[in-house]
Amino acid sequence: QVQLTESGGGLVQAGGSLSLSCAASGRAGINIAFGWFRRAPGKEREFVAGISWTSTRTWYADFAKGRFTISRNNARDTSTLQMSGLTPEDTAVYYCAADRDYGIGPSTEVDFWGQGTQVTVSS
């Protein structure tokens, strides 16, 4: 069972940047793809970004392209979501995800979820 722990959420002003981190434990040698999803107040959870377990492929939601960057450190079993140009519409709980599939995209039935970290963007 893979456990995921997010960190790095908080309050930021519009136009600012924030970096979220996710640490995986209990992987026991299996290869996992990482991803990030978010749930804004009153909305359903949506896909933000994903990265393959090989680190060679990434996927982004349209709203994330050009503003967000997903990366991973396989030696440390971590993933980072670097966010810039934040707007109040980015306010949400951000969830780290991991899957035993090659990658994570909008339709992936994710195997493992983190608890989530709150990101609040003030105007």
Residue 29: pLDDT over 90: no
Average pLDDT over residues 30-56: 96
Residue 106: pLDDT over 90: yes
pLDDT band at 36 (very low <50, low <70, confident <90, very high): very high
pLDDT at 95: 98
Average pLDDT over residues 12-35: 94
Name the average pLDDT for the chain: 96
The two tokens of residue 77 are 């079993």
**Whether 121 contacts 16, CB under 8 Å:** yes
